[in-house]
A = this chain, B = another copy of it.
């Protein structure tokens, strides 16, 4: 009543092959391979040698089924959406940092993309139920995000890129939007600007609030009246930045400065200003958000903020690994959230004094 071998053609060398080749039991092979202490050094040597020559690597399904772990961490990202298409090199940089840190801890990274047409919650539920991964990094975290409750309940260790009001003690890292807005606005005020506009992405409510509030607070702390007309919301893309440019031009009086809180907007803004005969840095001071390959070539050089995506990825990986270690222990520590600092890089887009 032996079930037929379904995978005959693709059969690769298994632990039994190793054992019979070496004339020892599969248990010993397994122990040697998994660095158990109680193995004769010579036996271990032979096993490792045989694994190398026979090309043996443990079948992950067998291993996972038995041990309950997959040694795999998943990074969940949205594919195909406008945001994703534009966030492009952000994720590739992040992946690199995640990857290098995780592999040092014997974890593999897999990226799990869900289409923007799909329900992110349903997708995540499937991933969780299938037990594909030991831990997860979620991105595009929403202000209210049911995925956080799902993962907490399922007791899957995870770390979130982005703050949320959902949940309470999960690990997260978010970019320092307050810091960017505060630093940017204070810098412009310091250079004598009083009419300072701000360009915000229209898509993410949480980020929008954070930036808006900080912007207003910094102005008022400096005795400048908040003018809601100077808050411009646009899509998080070059196109959005172009729209920000149009909005500026349409104002009865052009602000002397603008701060953008989305990386790609600067491209469209520069283009719109140039089309209109305005020169960034001469006619209006511009401070951008994140320095990236595309903005590095803007002329005049854009003053903006820098972060190491690789380091951010590494920090996310560390946060997740800490959660996983913590999960096992008796007295759980609440996982801390963390604000990721960004460093101002001075360009010439806001260096000149502008008076009107």
Contact = CB atoms under 8 A, between A and B. Distances in A.
Interface in A238-293: 238, 242, 267-268, 271, 274-275, 293
A222 to B, nearest CB: 34
Interface in A1-60: 6-7, 9-10, 12, 55-60
A263 to B, nearest CB: 12
Nearest to A8: B68
A115 interface: yes
Chain B CB within 10 Å, residue with most, of A61, A70, A93: A61
Given A60-B130, A89-B88, A115-B99, A271 B299 contact: yes
A12 B110 CA distance: 22
A339 to B, nearest CB: 25
Contacts of A64: 61
A207 interface: no
Contacts of A80: 92-93, 95-96, 99-100, 310
Chain B CB within 10 Å, residue with most, of A93, A113, A128: A113
Given A100-B115, A238-B297, A79 B92 contact: yes
Interface residues of A, number: 69
Contacts of A111: 110-113
A131 B92 contact: no
Contacts of A92: 79-80, 84-85, 87-88, 91
Contacts of A61: 60-62, 64-65, 70, 131
B93 A85 contact: yes
Contacts of A242: 297
Contacts of A275: 299
Contacts of A12: 128-129, 131, 154
A352 interface: no
A109 interface: yes
A95 B112 CA distance: 10
Contact of A88 (B70, B79, B88, B238): B88
A132 B60 contact: yes
18 contacts: A6-B68, A7-B68, A9-B155, A10-B154, A10-B155, A10-B156, A55-B125, A58-B130, A61-B70, A61-B131, A79-B95, A85-B92, A99-B114, A99-B115, A111-B113, A238-B296, A268-B297, A274-B299
